[in-house]
Every structure is written in C-alpha cells, then in structure tokens.
Amino acid sequence: MGFKEVINKRYNTMDKKIDRREFIKDASLLGLGLALGPTLINMSANNSTAEQSISKLVISNHEDAVKDMKLNSEAVNKIVDKAVTQFAGQDNVSDAWASVLNPFSPNDVVAIKVNCINASLPTHPEVVDAIVAGLILAGVKPNNIIIWDRKNNELARCRYKINTSKTGVRCFGTDENGWGYDKQVNLAGKDVRLSKILTSCGHLINVPVLKDHSTAGVTLSMKNHYGSVDNPSSLHGSILRIMSCDPYIAELNNVPDIKDKTRFILVDSLIGTYKGGPNGRPQFVTNSVLVGKDPVAVDHRGWEMIKSERQQKGIGMSYPAHIKTAAKMELGTNDPANMRIEVVEAKI
C-alpha cells in the first residue's frame, strides 16, 4: 500500500481517537520519521496584563532520548507530549494541542517551520512526527498541515519526504512550484519578501534547533525565520556595522505574519552545537526539548544552555544583541525574573 492510501485510510476520517502508536508507524510511510531514516502568554484569550507579565517555559526530558547521537523515537514522542501537556496545563495530548491552537477552525492551515540548513543537525523528523500526531489528534486535517522550510532539497536531505498532494500531511519548501515569496516588508531599511507558506497559514508552529551562530551568537526561534524570507543574506549585518544580525532578527519577528500567527515554539534541543554554528556538527546532548510561546524568553533560555556548555569547555560567550533588541521592542522578556521555567521528566 502506498503512503497516499495509508494516509487516506488512517487520517482522513478525522477520528480524534486515532491510536498514537499506529499514527507514528504510518507517518513513517509518509516519510516524516523513521522511514526517512513557555510563555508571555497563557492559553486563555482573556488573560490579564498581570498574568501576561510572566513567561512560562517548559523543559521536557528523558535520559534515553539520545544514544550515540541517534534518537529513540518512543522517548522523543513522550518528551514532546509531556512538553505540550505541561505547557498547556492539560491532561491529554489532544486537549493540549487544541488549547495551543485556540481559536481554531477545521479549515485552518497549520504551518510547521523547521530548520534544515544544517544537514548534520536539522530539526529532527522524529520531533515533527510527534507534533503532527498531536495536531491530528486535536482535530487538524492532515492535508491542512504543512511542514516547511526554504527548499525542497534541503528538506529531503534531512529525511523529510516531499508531499504536495491533496492527501496526507504536506511537506515542501518555499521553492515549490506555485508557492515562492509574495508580501514585501521593510526591516530597518532592508526589503525582503515573506514565504507564501507563511502568509497563507492561519497558525504557525516554530521548531528550531539548539545552535550557536558565528554572527548572531545563537540561532534559535527568532533567527529560524531567516528561512522564511527570500533574501536572508541582506539581514546579517548591523546598522552599527557590527556583524550581529541586529536589529533585523527582532524586526522580522515583529512582522504580523510571524508575531500574530505563532502559537507555539518547540526548540529541538535534544542535540546541540556550542561552537562553529550554524553549520557545525552535533556536539552535545541534552535529551530535552524547550517549549514556550515567548520567542525572547525561549531564545534567552536557549542561549543560557549553549553558554553553559561553552563555559565547561573554557569558551566565553557574549549576550546576543538581537535578544536585547527584541526585548526592548516588547516581543517578550529576557529577564529571568519574569520567566517561570518548569522542568519535567517524560515517562515511557
């Protein structure tokens, strides 16, 4: 049976009681997983200003998630599920994802922005499998889910199966025929165009990787959107002529198509790099994912994780300018006093 038939048979019923293990097994046939090898924001739309002053972050871990730089899919599934349920304050995965997407209509498109620029350390398909499974359990139509990044060939080399059909979960790059870039935005004097995948979706889930960056300091949730524009190379300098990508990263994340559509950030921090990024090879293991909705808080915590690893190796690390700028623009908080970090252990 081909993957189209599998997805038709299993998922187009939209039954919220789909067995999770069966989904993961069949998703691999689609090519999303093994076959390819917190928040300034609570979930209520009626939060008070006082409630919104604290950003909730969740770090979910399992000691057996990574062995010899290879992922244990079962442990990864549990890590992701525990992260989203803890973050949303829900008892089960379907309710948690429904809460994350609220308000949600059955015809809404959910775009999952991955990071595949470094084939040695991309957003792992196993992590995306777990997200996709949860979204479908929450009632999202499989064909309304788009896994995406810049280019088809970058996705394919990172074990994602390109699917542009009207059946099953879609996966393709902005360079896919009929897509490309449309809306132009000005970022501190630099004009770039946004991916049509981004501008056409109703909900955005950002799934970056834990990596240092020679120019920006770190490349986490905010810089992941350099893969959402047509000319990211123009955004690598600085108004002050310092190679820091500042203020361009912050300006980009202030664009309504990003700021207003982002529902959830899940940093694939299972494996990271602390030196030589963004193209360095995998260097350390955390066995965890970091989640939230506040991009500034998420990136601040990610920077702390990378900084800690560098300090153990006797390597210093400056604070990324773009995180400071984003905080000043009120895109989130970089003040640890305004963060609540919950560390939870996933169980198999």
Count of C-beta atoms within a 10 Å radius of residue 180: 14
What integer pLDDT is reported at residue 249 of this predicted model?
98
3-state secondary structure of 182: strand
> What tokens appear for 113 in the block?
């922005």
Parts of the chain with a pLDDT under 50: 1-51
3-state secondary structure of 186: strand
What integer pLDDT is reported at residue 324 of this predicted model?
97
- What domains are there in the chain, each with its CATH number? 3-345 (3.40.50.11440)
d(CA 206, CA 220) in angstroms, rounded, equals: 10
d(CA 189, CA 42) in angstroms, rounded, equals: 34
Residue whose C-alpha is closest to residue 24's, from 15, 13, 32, 16: 32
Alpha helices (runs of H) in the chain, residue ranges in sequence order: 3-11, 20-30, 73-88, 93-101, 125-137, 152-157, 196-200, 248-253, 256-259, 295-312, 321-328
d(CA 278, CA 209) in angstroms, rounded, equals: 10
What integer pLDDT is reported at residue 106 of this predicted model?
86
The pTM for the full model equals 0.86
